């Protein structure tokens, strides 16, 4: 099976712009989660989608939003970009609905740089 | 709330040395525990996992045992290679919540 894919791999934006990142989960996986990775804060959870519904949300401002489509593909959007939004954004998929034993499989990430 | 604490790095070893990276956790109930590895410029790869107390996860020579009495999940490898140089993350997962990660430990192995 193909792994989790994320596009684009690299993005450069300026402050105030908005950006959309895309994630395609492993075939058959219905849950998609997004994480932000920065050197200072480490890996922080953004949100999780299952069957097109946001099931869980981390502690990020409303500028960060996401959605999931009927084919389980997911997008996240960041509006009014700030310098502090520069990070590696990781998407992960898992096969079921939030069981603790689920393994999350990560994509290669999208590196966002905000100038 | 739930949390994961990892030993701070970097950890610098010579090839064939023994590796231990400590990980302890705080959680209510019975979480599943994971070790992920991140190579430069890449996403996270699952290294191993354990889903209940006394389970041992193993993969590629790495091992970790879920110790509920000490709330620990230490990562070990008997003989490291240069190719093991990476950042290692300990994480826990409970039903209905997101993965919670430790801050990561950088391992550097020299020949």
Write out pLDDT tens, residues B47-105. 999 999 999 999 999 999 999 999 999 999 999 999 999 999 999 998 777 899 999 99
CB under 8 Å to A69, separation ≥6 — which residues?
Answer: A52, A75
- Residues in chain B with CB shorter than 8 Å from the CB of A99 are 95
Query: In whole angstroms, what is the distance from residue B46 CA to residue B35 CA?
Result: 6
Residue (of B69, B99, B36, B87) closest to A46 by Cα position: B99
- pLDDT for the residue A2: 83
- State mean pLDDT over A84-113: 89
Length of chain B: 111
d(CA A44, CA A83): 17
How confident is residue A98, by pLDDT bands cut at 50, 70 and 90?
low
Least confident of A54-58, A75-79, A86-90, B35-39: A54-58
Is A100's pLDDT higher than 90?
A: no
**Residues of chain B neighbouring A105 (CB-CB closer than 8 A):** 46
Of A98, A104, A107, the CB nearest to B96: A98
Please, which pLDDT band fits residue B29 given cuts at 50, 70 and 90?
confident
Please state the rounded mean pLDDT for residues A47-75.
94
Listed residue (B77, B71, B79) closest to B50, CA to CA: B71
pLDDT of A65 higher than 90: yes
Residue of A nearest to B37 (CA): A106
DSSP string, A25-83: PPTT--EEEEEEEETTTEEEEEEEEETTEEEEE-S--TTEEEEE-TTS-EEEEE-S--G
Mean pLDDT score across all residues of chain A: 93
From the number of C-beta atoms within 10 Å of its C-beta (0-12, 13-18, 19+), residue A91 rates as buried
b/e sequence B1-30, b meaning 16+ C-beta within 10 Å: eeebebbeeebebeeeeebebbbbbebeee
pLDDT at position B28 is 84
What pLDDT band is residue A97 in, cutting at 50, 70 and 90? Answer: low
The answer to whether residues B2 and B99 touch, using CB atoms and an 8 Å cutoff, is: no
Q: What pLDDT is stored for residue B66 in this prediction?
A: 97
Portion of chain A with pLDDT greater than 90, in percent: 84
d(CA A95, CA A91): 14
Rg (C-alpha) for chain B, rounded Å, is 13
Cβ distance A55 to A67 under 8 Å?
no
pLDDT band at A90; cut points 50, 70, 90: very high
Q: State yes or no: pLDDT of A1 exceeds 80.
A: no
Contact present, A45 and A104 (Cβ < 8 Å): no
User: Which of A43, A100, A103 lies nearest to residue B89, judging by beta carbons?
Assistant: A43
> So what's the pLDDT on residue B71?
96
Nearest Cβ partner for A106 among B32, B44, B51: B44
Per-residue confidence (pLDDT) for residue B30, from 0 to 100: 85
pLDDT at A99: 67
């Amino acid at each position: 099976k193909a792994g989790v894919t994320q596009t684009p791999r690299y993005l450069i934006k300026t402050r105030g712009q908005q950006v959309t990142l895309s994630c395609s989960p492993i075939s058959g996986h219905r849950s998609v989660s997004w994480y932000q990775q920065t050197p200072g804060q480490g890996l922080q959870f953004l949100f999780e989608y299952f069957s097109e519904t946001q099931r869980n949300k981390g502690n990020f401002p409303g500028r960060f939003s996401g959605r999931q489509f009927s084919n389980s593909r997911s997008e996240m959007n960041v509006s009014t970009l700030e310098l502090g939004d520069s990070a590696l954004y990781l998407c992960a998929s898992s096969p079921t609905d939030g069981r603790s034993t689920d393994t999350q499989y990560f994509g290669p990430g999208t590196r966002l740089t905000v100038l | 709330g739930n949390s994961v604490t990892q030993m701070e790095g970097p950890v610098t070893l010579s090839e064939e040395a023994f590796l231990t990276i400590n990980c302890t956790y705080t959680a209510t109930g019975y979480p599943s525990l994971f070790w992920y590895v991140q190579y430069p410029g890449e996403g996270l790869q699952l290294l191993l996992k354990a889903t209940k107390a006394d389970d041992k996860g193993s993969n590629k020579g790495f091992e970790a045992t879920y110790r509920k009495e000490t709330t620990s999940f230490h990562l070990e490898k008997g003989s490291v290679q240069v190719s093991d140089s990476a950042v290692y993350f300990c994480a826990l997962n409970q039903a209905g919540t997101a993965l919670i990660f430790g801050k990561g430990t950088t391992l550097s192995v020299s020949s």
